Chains A and B, each alone.
Chain A
Amino acid sequence: MIRLTWRQFRTQATVVSGILAAVTVLLAATGPQLVHLYDISIVPCAARGDCSDAANALASRFHLLQGLGTVLVVVPAVIGVFWGAPLVARELETGTYELAWTQSVPRWRWLAVKLGLAGLASVAVAGLLSLMLTWWSSPIDRVNADPFSVFDQRGIVPLGYAAFAFALGVAAGLLLRRTLAAMAVTLVVFAAVRVAVTRWVRPNLLAPLRLVSAVQPPGSGSFASLAPPQPADWVLSDQVINAAGRVIGQNGAISLGGGRYGFVFGRTVAGGRMTLQGVGPCPTGSPRWVPADSRAPRSTGPPGSVSPGWTSGRC
């Protein structure tokens, strides 16, 4: 059964191996350059403090290749549509299952071998691509310090997406028994699930933490700004409240770079507060995140003095 499955899968496997090889060559050729550039531009400037120019130079130099990251968004969908959906649907549609199921191989083994081989190949392809791109992008990721924006394209996440897309494709094929319909449904459902997970599910997987800061009165600049404890922390929402307790701005924060969030002084906010909600490590230092679900008194103290020592929920 393994030999038959391989025989049916051979052409596709060869094509994909070719593409993988091409990507490997491309990344192997440019990766060392990227590391070298990082070493001579970012490392020295980090010692001095400000790296934005060097970071921009690095990013623009490899601008096109960074687009390869989106390959890892597309590959699981392609796997689901072209490997998952037709796997069983084509046999049902063309009637060849009647041929396969009346050979001396029980149906459960027929399915197990097909699922095993194609599923393993799916996860392996996504894994290899992710491994290579995670390695290749590591200098850029260090400069950007924004791991949540590329969360879907690094490490083991693409493996999970590939396994899901493959299983989704097979299930759609089994239910619809039509290859083309199964492919279309797989694509639509996969895209929908992916958007839903990124936008609505993932922010809620962990109870968010909160950072509250008294807004400094005008005079310290034209911005009220607040930075999460770590630049890489994931800010989910922000809010500015004036002294009267009215919300005068939310989720319209201006990203100031370097992980800072700010609000333009339009109205008087003296005595007001600025709040960030986000995902980051639990409180360790100051200023710190506190769990959002704790009933904090609306603190009016200076930044860093907000509800010390509160731990509940995940912390």
Chain B
Amino acid sequence: MTAVLAADGLGKKYGRRWALADCTLRIPPGRVVGLVGPNGAGKTTLLRLAVGLLRPTAGAIEVLGRPPGDDAGQLGRVGFVAQDTPVYAALTVADHLRMGGWLNPRWDDEIARRRACQVGLDPKQRAGKLSGGQRAQLALTLAIAKRPELLVLDEPVASLDPLARREFLQLLMSIVAEAEISVLLSSHLVGDLERVCDYLVVLAASRVQVAGDVDDLLAAHRRLTGPRRDPRTLPGDQEVIEGRHTDVQSTLVVRCAGPVLDPAWTVADLSLEDLVLAYMSRARVPDSADRKPSVLR
């Protein structure tokens, strides 16, 4: 099956700084993929590369089996909602929906009108006068009604209040259930993604730290608490992601292939948020910056 997104050694450089470096990813189709990482980690860069707004400096990227391009066919297969959801302030909601019809051969006017009505968008209202939440809904409606195979959303809920945030994500989930499309959305908050994503990519310090199915990730990571111990003495199948030590006690987040058998450890499950935070803090340690990303098969 063709990967929704396949990146190989992908990198993008701005001036002398790599915004995204050595990114190798293979995201299976039919997933809701959460791209999480701190601000400035390269999330927006990766998404803009995926929709063809940027060209890579290094490596290659394929979206739905083809390079994200500037041809009408490929553009029609990917829907994009940009950060801050830009819309034409002087045009009305109805103008925007009309515009969608003019610019997209696969446009579904029925879906567009129904969605706009559902989320309470007044067709006669100028887009510049919409609230942040309504603007995001309008941008999402435009991206959905072009009937893409992949929907890419860059921090879609970052500027929304909690209620609008929940409504937006609910709407997104109903769309996914209905249209059977793949979704790739980014956020710097794990909480936003936890409810909707079944696949997770953690991006920090311009690199992919970990990527995989959410359930697999949770199953493979454990928090170990026990008497103080040098992490290097752990069995070979246990990789330490994050370690904290006091004089007498060690708390480790480890990725393990099998069960933890050592009775000295108290073993606990991790929440998705803890898992993401562990990888993010590992990325902050300088000597780990070149470490290979952990990709779960």
Given known pairs A104-B105, A106-B70, the reply for A98 and B75 (CB within 8 Å) is no
* Bound complex: CA A253 to CA B142 (Å): 70
Question: Complex Cα distance A1/B72, Å?
Answer: 12
| Interface membership of chain B positions 83-102, coded 1 if the CB is closer than 8 angstroms to chain A and 0 otherwise | 01011111100010011101
Q: Residue of A at shortest CB range from B88? A: A96
Contact check, B70 vs A103: say whether CB atoms are below 8 A apart: no
Q: Size of chain A's interface in residues, with CB distance under 8 A?
A: 20
Closest to B104 in A: A104
Q: Is the interface of A mostly helix, strand, loop or mixed?
A: helix
What separation, in Å, do the CA atoms of A238 and B89 have in the docked complex? 59
How many angstroms between the C-alpha atoms of A96 and B88 in the bound complex?
Answer: 6
Q: How far is the CB of B73 from chain A (nearest CB, A)?
A: 8
Confirm or deny: A95 has a beta carbon within 8 angstroms of a beta carbon on chain B.
yes
With contacts A4-B99, A4-B103, A7-B99 taken as known, whether A102 is within 8 angstroms of B86 at the C-beta atoms is no
One of A1, A7, A98 near B86 (C-beta < 8 A): A98
**B87 and A4 within 8 A (CB):** no
Contacts of A4 in B (CB 8 A): 99, 102-103
- Chain A residues with CB under 8 A of B104: 103-104
- A104 and B103 in contact, given A95-B84, A99-B86 (Cβ under 8 angstroms): yes
Are B90 and A99 within 8 A (Cβ)? no
B279 at the interface (CB under 8 A from A): no
Number of B residues contacting the other chain (C-beta, 8 Å)? 33
Interface flags, B141-170, vs A, CB<8A=1, else 0: 011001000000000000000000000000
Is B82 in contact with chain A by the CB < 8 A criterion?
yes
Instruction: Tell me whether B103 and A1 are in contact (CB under 8 A).
Output: yes
On whether the beta carbons of A94 and B89 are closer than 8 Å, the reply is yes
Interface string of A84-104 (1 = CB under 8 A from B): 000000000011101111111
A72–B71 CA distance with the chains assembled, in angstroms: 41
Binary per-residue interface labels of chain B (18-58) against chain A in the complex, 1 for a CB within 8 Å, 0 otherwise: 00000000000000000000000000000000011100000
A314 within 8 A of B: no
For A105, give the chain B residue with the smallest CB separation.
B103
Give the nearest-CB partner of A107 in chain B: B70
Q: Given A3-B102, A4-B102, A95-B86 in contact, is the A103-B146 Cβ separation under 8 Å?
A: yes
Q: Are A98 and B106 in contact (CB under 8 A)?
A: no
* CB 8 Å contact bits of A101-133 with B (1 = contact, 0 = none): 111111110000000000000000000000000
Tell me if A250 is interfacial: C-beta within 8 Å of chain B.
no
CB of B4, distance to nearest CB on chain A (Å): 16
Please give, as numbers and ranges, the residues of chain A lying within 8 Å of B80 by CB-CB distance.
98, 102
CB-contacts of A222-265 with B (<8 A):
none
Q: How far is the CA of A168 from the CA of B216 in the complex (A)?
A: 57
B136 to chain A, nearest CB (A): 12
User: Given A1-B102, A7-B99, does the pair A103, B84 have CB atoms closer than 8 Å?
Assistant: no
Question: B78 contacts the other chain (Cβ, under 8 Å)?
Answer: yes
- Tell me the complex Cα distance, A101–B91, Å: 17
In the complex, residue of chain B having the shortest beta-carbon distance to the beta carbon of A110? B103
Complex-state Cα separation, A102 to B79, whole angstroms: 7
**Which chain A residues lie closer than 8 Å to B142 at the CB level?**
99
Given known A1-B102, A4-B99, A96-B86, contact A102–B91 (CB-CB < 8 A) = no
Q: Does B76 belong to the interface (CB within 8 Å)?
A: yes
Q: How far is the CA of A99 from the CA of B88 in the complex (A)?
A: 9
**Bound: A7/B78 CA distance, A:** 25
Residues 81-132 of B contacting A (Cβ, < 8 Å): 82, 84, 86-91, 95, 98-100, 102-106
Kindly state whether residue B185 has any CB partner on chain A within 8 Å.
no
Question: Could you tell me the distance between the alpha carbons of A56 and B102 in the complex, rounded to whole angstroms?
Answer: 59
**Interface assignment of A8: CB less than 8 Å from any CB of chain B:** yes
Q: Is B139 an interface residue (CB 8 A)?
A: yes
Find chain A residues with CB under 8 A from B70 CB. 106-108
Point out the residues of chain B lying under 8 angstroms from A101, CB to CB: 52-53
A11 CA / B139 CA spacing, docked (Å): 24
Report Cα–Cα, A99/B51, bound state, in Å: 11
Given A11-B90, A95-B82, A99-B142, 8 further pairs, Cβ under 8 A: A4-B103, A96-B86, A102-B52, A102-B78, A103-B100, A104-B76, A104-B106, A105-B72
A–B pairs, 19, beta carbons within 8 Å: A1-B102, A4-B103, A7-B95, A8-B91, A11-B90, A95-B82, A96-B86, A96-B87, A98-B53, A98-B80, A98-B82, A99-B142, A102-B143, A103-B100, A103-B104, A104-B75, A104-B104, A104-B105, A104-B146
